Amino acid sequence: MIENSMFEEEPDVVDLAKEPCLHPLEPDEVEYEPRSSRLLVRGLGEHEMDDDEEDYESSAKLLGMSFMNRSSGLRNNMSVYRQNPNGSCLVPSPRTMVVCTVVLVIAVSLIMAIYLLPKCIFTKEGCHKKNHTMELIYPLATNGKLFPWAKIRLPPDVVPLHYDLVLQPNLTTLKFAGSVKIVVNIIQVTWKIILHSSGLNITKATITSAAHQAKPVEFLEYPLHDQIAVMASEALLVGQNYTVNIEYTSNLSDTYYGFYKISYKDENSKQRWFAATQFEPLAARSAFPCFDEPAFKATFLIKIKRDEKLSTLSNMPKKSTTPVTNGIVQDEFFVSLKMSTYLVAFVVADLKNISRETNGSLVSVYAIPQHLNQVGYALNTAVKLLEFYQKYFLINYPLEKLDLVAIPDFQSSAMENWGLITFRETTLLFDSNTSSARDKKLITAVIAHELAHQWFGNLVTMEWWNDLWLNEGFATFMEYFAMEEIFPELHSDEDFLNLIFKAMMKDSLNSSHPVSSAVQSSEQIEEMFDALSYIKGASLLLMLKHYLTKDVFQAGIEVYLHNHNYGSAQSDDLWDSMNEITNGTLDVKKLMKTWILHQGFPLVTVVRKGKIISVQQEKFLYHVEPENWTTDASYLWHIPLTYITSSCNFTHCTNAYLLDQKSAVIELPEEVEWIKFNVDMNGYYIVHYAEDWKTLIDLLKKNHTALSPKDRANLINNIFSLAGLGKESLEKAFELIDYLNKESSTAPLTQALFQLSLIYSLLEKKGEQQLAARVMRRIEHLLGDKIDQQCWTDDGTLSERELRSTLLAFACTHDMRNCRTTATEMFEKWMKSNGTMRLMQNSLEGEVIRAQELSRIIATVSQSLPGYLLAWDFVKENWEKLTRKFHLGSYTIQNIISWSTSQFATKAHLLEVKSFFESKSEESSQLRCVKEAIDTIQLNIQWMERNLAKLQELL
Ligand code: BES
Ligand code: ZN
């Protein structure tokens, strides 16, 4: 599982392999200010909350005092009654009451007046819920003139061919100046050139043609769609090339998006600035005016003026450095290959590197000077993976260099910019003294993913964001495939299995969406970066690979990359390429369309009668609200079923059957003792053994190794999912895991612990403490011996070390088997050892934590009983700041919403979450992740109603 990435690990699974840690938050990770609920996060407005906003209830909450019997929705109303420092309530004086009443009456009248008036007749800015209807028909530019284009997508009549971009960032004023010359080709005669620009202060625009000199021209700005229109003074003729020249200035961004600034401390604890870019999906337009859609590929020539003491990097190797003025030089980079704007990148900072050549390309890893000693592992790994991919795809990496750069503050884990991959420091730097085995795995996975993008994404790009899965699903698939091939000892397939389980949970909600879904707005595009594009996309490819065989699959990929290189593709192009290989024997397009275009996944019900196996498919859906039921009888998947039976020796006996009807019958050659479908969970479906769970339960009890660890994990997952659906009893699910004291494999243990922890968490947060304690006793009964067997060293294979880390973290979190005593002793010993000085240095440097860690902190806080309301309050109170810093729809925001609400299981909380988002802008309330949060709470409520009484009997 990848930590700190899109799909963050359950936060209570503390990485013990790294260092003994008693508290989920390190003291230097987060700083609490006394008397307030301020969670100080660097970059998130540390000092922006004024004293009036603080109240004593918040500080009590911080100390975990006021979480009981409190609906957080009441909090704001209650806060007028402040506590004085000795704890008693301050009762308002009669004068205060009168003043308050008058103020209240005026406020209510004002609000009503505003409500009753037609929406948005005031200023644009004053309109909270925007009504865009008028603007869409008559789009008005900032100067009041009619903007000549009303759509979000750019018109197809002008295409860019080449950009000459000159930038001068100033790391003292934190502003930058830029000029861009774009050579465009005219596809259809026009008088206007529409392109993207966001937050740029444009000072001049000219158009030049072969026949005419540069002429200043009028330009119009339309911020609602991040567009500008450069108005030609004569018709632009079909087939001709013109050069648009634009000069502008802007500020380096203080978010993680666009061309942004980062402050950090150098070796001498001196504050320094670092400038870097993050353009995907829609932020290239905030660094230079451009045709910011993935299919508008062009070549780029980039020049950057910089302080002579700093370095610059960009996608291409450096061509020359020339002096400009005193202390300022200009770096010019070679012209790029044809590429999309979101892949353009540059970095200006004080950097050091190590490099190695492979197959004609120079691979380098860069970091700030004090971290240069931690880049070795990344360089070795990148070189190995690059060599692997070139062989697998039969296409060389096309650039002469590949840089991997560690950025001190970065929202995601990494970004695949062509030739200049940017990373968080924690996903690139490996320190053999302090980094854990899991860190190594994380670094390897992230490099494997981003290198795969150099082909899937960079060489061949999805045509539009609706097919983001072609980028992210493929990169994720290749990431795990390459890891298994080159680093089998890392057992990354088990991590992938866990991710699939989680993606399926999300995909079984009403709020889910097809892997390939229509998108337009920036929030919709941001929200495509989710588990469905990444994990469902990857697991569908895994299923296809098993169905086609690995050689056919590989050949299909080669055809796809060759057919579309330096261009863009849609899902159908991939299936057509695969069909070129299957050559009519098998219609990949017909099969895969049922998976890419349907939301959710099938539930396959199996009934065995002697040699006859009846199989039947239906949609697996957690019906949350009867009125929302989408009983899509039309949903039919073409399911490549696989199965094993008792009559084979489990290495070479996987059977296959394509279920392309609602139901079918499979006749076995002989009667068998048991049958298990979805071998190793290589298929994206859940199986219900209607009358046969008992057989499988007995098999696990008698001889669990008759099934592979992945099959065992799959059974555990499926039966608990079915219990949630009401198709199987919770009792059977508990019976199935009764064999666990004999289990020693990581995948099934992790899955069982995950399922039981879900139940425990819900019960605990619902106030069912006694029942929760009984669940915990059940876990202890099942896994107590296993926990006792764990030694407190770092020996064994990675898989064993990870299992140890998972079990001990669980035991310490829940105060089991003396775990905390041992951990405390070890921690104290470590504090007294050499490690102490380091620790202090770290705490000194990390006065406050970085905002990049925030979603993880919220996740950790919201897992705990004292913290889960606090986390939600924090999100509510800081919503505007959070969405400004991480932007609406980004997966950081998706994670924050999901973590801070997923523990709720009461109607009051459901109402609270609904009304909070309804009170926000339309863009916020319409987010898919908000719908998902609401679905999840409803599901939790339903789960409780269905199972609470049963649990009482059972435990
Ligand atoms: N292309 C993404 C980075 C990205 C994510 C850009 C979201 C814009 C929005 C990159 O390839 C990626 O997927 N990064 C993952 C890591 C990966 C190993 C799953 C991430 O940052 O979590
Ligand atoms: Zn990616």
Average pLDDT over residues 411-428: 97
Q: What is the CA(412)–ligand 1 centre distance, in A?
A: 6
Average pLDDT over residues 887-903: 93
Ligand number with the minimum distance to the CA of 294: 1
Ligand 1 and 472: CB distance under 6 A: yes
Bridge-based pairing state of the strands 849-850 and 39-42: parallel
In ligand 1, which atom is closest to the CA atom of 424? 21
- Residue nearest (by alpha carbon) to ligand 1 atom 8: 280
pLDDT surpasses 60 at 871:
yes
Q: Name the residue of 2, 447, 449 whose CB sits within 8 Å of the most ligand 1 atoms, as the mutation to test its pocket.
A: 449
Confidence label for 655 from pLDDT (cuts 50, 70 and 90): very high
Q: Name the residue of 415, 427, 446, 523 whose CB sits within 8 Å of the most ligand 1 atoms, as the mutation to test its pocket.
A: 415
Ligand 1 and 450: CB distance under 6 A: yes
- E strand intervals along 223-351: 227-236, 241-251, 258-265, 271-278, 299-307, 311-314, 318-325, 328-333, 346-349
Strand order in the sheet with 663-667: 663-667, 612-620, 601-609, 686-689
Q: What is the CA(707)–ligand 2 centre distance, in A?
A: 33
Ligand 1 and 147: CB distance under 6 A: no
Give the pLDDT score at 135: 53
Ligand 1 and 862: CB distance under 6 A: no
Share of the chain above pLDDT 90, in %: 70
Average pLDDT over residues 633-643: 89
Average pLDDT over residues 90-117: 39
Q: What is the CA(428)–ligand 2 centre distance, in A?
A: 15
Tens of pLDDT, residue by residue over 678-722, are: 999 999 999 999 999 999 999 999 999 999 999 999 999 999 999
Average pLDDT over residues 640-660: 87
Choose the weakest-confidence range: 259-273, 533-547, 807-821: 807-821
Q: Within 13 Å and on the Cβ side, how many CA atoms surround 593?
A: 9
Bridge-based pairing state of the strands 460-462 and 567-569: parallel
Ligand 1 and 414: CB distance under 6 A: yes
Q: For residues 468 and 889, is the Cβ–Cβ distance under 8 A? A: no
Tens of pLDDT, residue by residue over 792-813, are: 887 888 888 888 888 998 899 8
Confidence label for 827 from pLDDT (cuts 50, 70 and 90): confident
Query: Distance between CA atoms of 283 and 277, rounded to whole angstroms?
Result: 9
In ligand 1, which atom is closest to the CA atom of 6? 22
Q: What is the CA(16)–ligand 2 centre distance, in A?
A: 28
Give the pLDDT score at 837: 40
Give the pLDDT score at 8: 56
816-822 CB contacts, 8 Å cutoff, 24+ apart: 816/776, 816/780, 816/784, 816/787, 817/780, 817/784, 817/787, 817/788, 819/787, 820/22, 822/792
Average pLDDT over residues 146-164: 98
Residue entry with tokens 């009762």: 91
Q: For residues 420 and 345, is the Cβ–Cβ distance under 8 A? A: yes
Give the pLDDT score at 850: 82
Q: For residues 926 and 521, is the Cβ–Cβ distance under 8 A? A: no
Residues with CB under 5 A from ligand 2 (ion): 472, 475
End-to-end Cα, the chain, rounded Å: 31
Give the pLDDT score at 455: 98
Choose the weakest-confidence range: 298-302, 452-456, 683-687, 922-926: 922-926
- Residue nearest (by alpha carbon) to ligand 1 atom 13: 472
Ligand number with the minimum distance to the CA of 472: 2
Rg from Cα positions in the chain: 29
Burial class (CB in 10 A: 0-12, 13-18, 19+), 664: middle
Tens of pLDDT, residue by residue over 318-367, are: 999 999 999 999 999 999 999 999 999 999 999 999 999 999 999 999 99
Average pLDDT over residues 875-898: 92
- E strand intervals along 576-627: 601-609, 612-620
Q: What is the CA(6)–ligand 1 centre distance, in A?
A: 7
Whether 691 is catalytic: no
Give the pLDDT score at 622: 84
- In 3D space, the residue among 507, 931, 502, 939 whose CA is nearest the CA of residue 725 turns out to be 939
Chain mean pLDDT for the chain = 85
Tens of pLDDT, residue by residue over 589-616, are: 999 999 999 999 999 999 999 999 999 9
Ligand 1 and 246: CB distance under 6 A: no
Q: For residues 765 and 757, is the Cβ–Cβ distance under 8 A? A: no
pLDDT surpasses 50 at 174:
yes
- In 3D space, the residue among 224, 273, 225, 236 whose CA is nearest the CA of residue 253 turns out to be 273
Instruction: Compare 30 and 364 and report the one with higher pLDDT.
Output: 364
- Residue nearest (by alpha carbon) to ligand 1 atom 18: 446
Instruction: Compare 542 and 22 and report the one with higher pLDDT.
Output: 542
Choose the weakest-confidence range: 291-300, 510-519, 834-843: 834-843
pLDDT surpasses 60 at 3:
no
Q: Which position among 10, 450, 526, 743 bears the catalytic label?
A: 450
pLDDT surpasses 90 at 630:
no
Tens of pLDDT, residue by residue over 47-101, are: 333 333 333 222 222 222 222 222 222 223 322 222 333 333 333 444 444 444 4
pLDDT surpasses 90 at 856:
no
Give the pLDDT score at 70: 24
Ligand 1 and 6: CB distance under 6 A: yes
Give the pLDDT score at 841: 43
